[in-house]
């Protein structure tokens, strides 16, 4: 049986060999496959077993999964299948297709470029985890701005042994540091580039001009001989508050940009659809020149990785999201909630720009949930603890930066919050 399973991985590798995807696979990624075991056989039975289906480890009654009455009462009007049945390993087919339709609509540059069908993961974190498992090896360069979400370090550096190569996110004149990204990639033959816009912790999205510069740089590095895995963490996608920003994912622009670029989009309902605890994320992969068979091989490897770790993501969460996406007025209500966040952003921007402070300097921000201060002459951690003594929670990033999630604060309370932050910093300076 083991030899058969190894043959499945070898078969997928043979399909991918010679492509950028094949060259970028980690050792684990090359060994990964989706087994022809219980899950695959159950899928076949679901399609063909019209008399009796005695495959999956579930209990049925009168053709529907058994569901206890307290649960049935809570999830009405959902069916038992929608609520408590297992979901397929890659996610509900109708949800994956609908998310793909939404992705193309929100990212016009993607047009009809070939991609994998978005695969459901247990939130964006799990999506990032799965991608790092398939593509990151010990010693690989992971190129990121110096202001990044700390969980990247655990997933990709600690678990996979990749070497984080940081570059300053901003230039002295507060632009995205394209030259810094260029120097960080250098003349490597392989690199993983991870970009997160709107950025956590700063709440920054590149302008259209900056986005074009990033795109041109990555293509130039690829054409010079570097195989690039470019991962886009689009957790806060759509939350843009100023004119002239890139309002689609750079994934769309790089999906067919070069034979040496494999582009990966990781997104989901978490922040974008205000459904944090549902833990529904998606992974979509594209690359110029990849055939349908090669895209399918990548899906099979990703399915194998999901099967080996979480087996499948929550069925009820996927059912809820599917119903929400199909509900009348969904887009209008989502737009209204984004406008609520825009007003909070505008309030915060007025507060910090009207105040010239020697201790707290706001970093550029224009989108997302957050803004961050550079702390001058005061420890960010000491400031955080001082604010906590006053009943105010913020996040210290090392000793230098303080992140404030204005998304959590009602608009009318923002002046009081920021007044307290400034006052605490002045006391400590």
Q: Is the per-residue pLDDT at 3 higher than 60?
A: no
Which residues, 6 or more positions from 186, have their beta carbon under 8 angstroms from its beta carbon?
none
Average pLDDT, the chain: 95
Angle at 168 between CA 372 and CA 144, to 5 degrees: 95
At 41, the pLDDT band (50, 70, 90 cuts) reads confident
- Region 107-121: mean pLDDT is 97
Measure the CA–CA gap between 172 and 101, rounded to whole angstroms: 40
* pLDDT confidence of residue 48: 84
Residue 30 backbone dihedrals phi, psi, to 5 degrees? -70, -30
What is the SS3 assignment for 197? coil
CATH 3.90.1150.10 for the 331-428 domain, yes or no? yes
At 82, the pLDDT band (50, 70, 90 cuts) reads very high
User: How many CA atoms are closer than 13 Å to the CA of 396, on its beta-carbon side?
Assistant: 18
Measure the CA–CA gap between 374 and 381, rounded to whole angstroms: 12
Question: Tokens at residue 419, please?
Answer: 């007044």
* pLDDT confidence of residue 36: 83
Element (H, E) at 385: helix 380-389
Provide the CA 90 distance to its chain's centre, in angstroms: 16
Find residue 302's DSSP bridge partners. none
Options 3.30.470.20, 3.40.640.10, 3.40.50.300, 3.30.750.24; CATH for 2-49+81-326 is: 3.40.640.10
**Dihedral angle of Cα 328, 330, 332, 338, to the nearest 10 degrees:** 170
Measure the CA–CA gap between 194 and 21, rounded to whole angstroms: 16
Nearest of 65, 43, 82 to residue 317 by alpha carbon: 82
Cβ atoms 121, 283 nearer than 8 A: yes
Question: Tokens at residue 152, please?
Answer: 């990247």
Residue 327: CB atoms within 10 A of its CB come to: 10
Q: Is the per-residue pLDDT at 5 higher than 60?
A: no
Q: Is the per-residue pLDDT at 410 higher than 50?
A: yes
Measure the CA–CA gap between 13 and 8, rounded to whole angstroms: 9
In the chain, where the domains are located: 2-49+81-326, 331-428
* pLDDT confidence of residue 1: 39
* pLDDT confidence of residue 277: 96
* pLDDT confidence of residue 96: 98
Query: Between β-strands 371-375 and 395-397, what pairing exists: parallel, antiparallel or unpaired?
Result: unpaired
Measure the CA–CA gap between 262 and 148, rounded to whole angstroms: 21
Nearest of 354, 357, 424, 365 to residue 396 by alpha carbon: 424
* pLDDT confidence of residue 55: 81
* pLDDT confidence of residue 185: 98
Angle at 158 between CA 153 and CA 161, to 5 degrees: 110
- Region 404-415: mean pLDDT is 98
Find residue 280's DSSP bridge partners. 122
- Region 268-284: mean pLDDT is 96
At 63, the pLDDT band (50, 70, 90 cuts) reads confident
* pLDDT confidence of residue 215: 98
At 56, the pLDDT band (50, 70, 90 cuts) reads confident
Residue 369: CB atoms within 10 A of its CB come to: 21
The percent of residues above 70 in pLDDT, for the chain, comes to 98
* pLDDT confidence of residue 265: 98
At 244, the pLDDT band (50, 70, 90 cuts) reads very high
Q: Which has the minimum average pLDDT: 24-33, 57-66, 206-215, 222-231?
A: 57-66
At 2, the pLDDT band (50, 70, 90 cuts) reads very low
Dump pLDDT digits (tens) for 167-210.
999 999 999 999 999 999 999 999 999 999 999 999 999 999 99
Q: Which has the minimum average pLDDT: 47-56, 112-121, 209-218?
A: 47-56
Question: Tokens at residue 211, please?
Answer: 């986005």
Dump pLDDT digits (tens) for 350-377.
999 998 888 999 999 999 999 999 999 9
DSSP line for 13-71: HHHHTTSHHHHH--HHHHH----SSHHHHHHHHHHH-SS----SS--EETTEE---HHH
* pLDDT confidence of residue 121: 98
Measure the CA–CA gap between 174 and 166, rounded to whole angstroms: 17
Q: Is the per-residue pLDDT at 390 higher than 80?
A: yes
Is the C-alpha dihedral spanning 379, 383, 389, 392 positive or negative? negative
- Region 232-259: mean pLDDT is 97
Where are the strands (E) in 71-178, listed by range? 119-122, 141-145, 163-167
Angle at 114 between CA 110 and CA 115, to 5 degrees: 85
* pLDDT confidence of residue 156: 95
Q: How far is CA 181 from CA 146, 147, 198, 285, in A?
A: 11, 13, 17, 22
DSSP line for 220-274: HHHHTT-EEEEEEE-TTTT-B-STTB--S-HHHHHTTS-TTEEEEEEEEHHHHTT
């Amino acid at each position: 049986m083991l030899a058969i399973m190894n043959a499945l991985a070898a078969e997928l590798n043979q399909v991918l060999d010679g492509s950028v995807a094949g060259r970028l696979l980690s050792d684990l990624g090359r060994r990964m496959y989706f087994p022809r075991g219980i899950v695959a056989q159950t899928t076949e039975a679901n399609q063909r077993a019209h008399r009796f289906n005695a495959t999956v480890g579930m209990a049925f009654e009168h053709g529907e999964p058994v569901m206890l009455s307290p649960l049935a009462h809570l999830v009405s009007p959902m069916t038992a299948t929608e609520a408590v049945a297992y979901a397929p390993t890659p996610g509900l087919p109708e949800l994956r297709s609908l998310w793909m339709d939404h992705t193309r609509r929100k990212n016009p540059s993607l047009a009809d470029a070939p991609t994998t069908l978005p695969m459901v993961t247990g939130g964006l974190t799990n999506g990032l985890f799965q991608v790092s498992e398939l593509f990151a090896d010990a010693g690989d360069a992971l190129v990121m701005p110096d202001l990044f979400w700390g969980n990247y370090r655990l997933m990709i550096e600690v678990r996979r042994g990749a070497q984080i190569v940081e570059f300053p996110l901003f230039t002295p004149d507060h632009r995205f540091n394209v030259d810094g990204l260029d120097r960080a990639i250098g003349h490597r033959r392989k690199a993983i580039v991870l970009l997160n816009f709107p950025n956590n912790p700063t709440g920054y999205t590149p302008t259209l001009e900056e986005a074009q510069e990033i795109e041109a740089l990555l293509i130039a590095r690829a054409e010079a001989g570097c195989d690039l895995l470019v991962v886009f963490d689009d957790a806060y996608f759509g939350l843009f508050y100023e004119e002239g920003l890139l309002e689609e994912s750079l994934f769309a622009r790089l999906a067919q940009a070069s034979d040496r670029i494999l582009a990966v989009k990781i997104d989901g309902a978490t922040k974008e659809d205000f459904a944090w605890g549902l833990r529904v994320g998606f992974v979509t992969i594209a690359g110029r020149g990849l055939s349908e068979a090669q895209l399918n091989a990548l899906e099979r490897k990703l399915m194998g990785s999901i099967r080996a770790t979480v087996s499948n993501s929550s069925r009820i969460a996927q059912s809820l999201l599917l119903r929400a996406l199909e509900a009348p007025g969904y887009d209008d209500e989502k737009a209204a909630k984004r406008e609520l966040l825009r007003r909070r952003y505008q309030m915060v921007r007025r507060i910090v720009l009207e105040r010239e402070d020697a201790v707290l300097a706001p970093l550029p921000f224009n989108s997302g949930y957050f803004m961050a201060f550079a702390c001058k002459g005061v420890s960010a951690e000491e400031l955080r603890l001082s604010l906590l003594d006053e009943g105010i929670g913020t996040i210290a990033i090392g000793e230098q930066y303080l992140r404030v999630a204005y998304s959590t604060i009602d608009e009318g309370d923002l002046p009081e919050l920021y007044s307290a932050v400034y006052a605490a910093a002045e006391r400590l300076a």
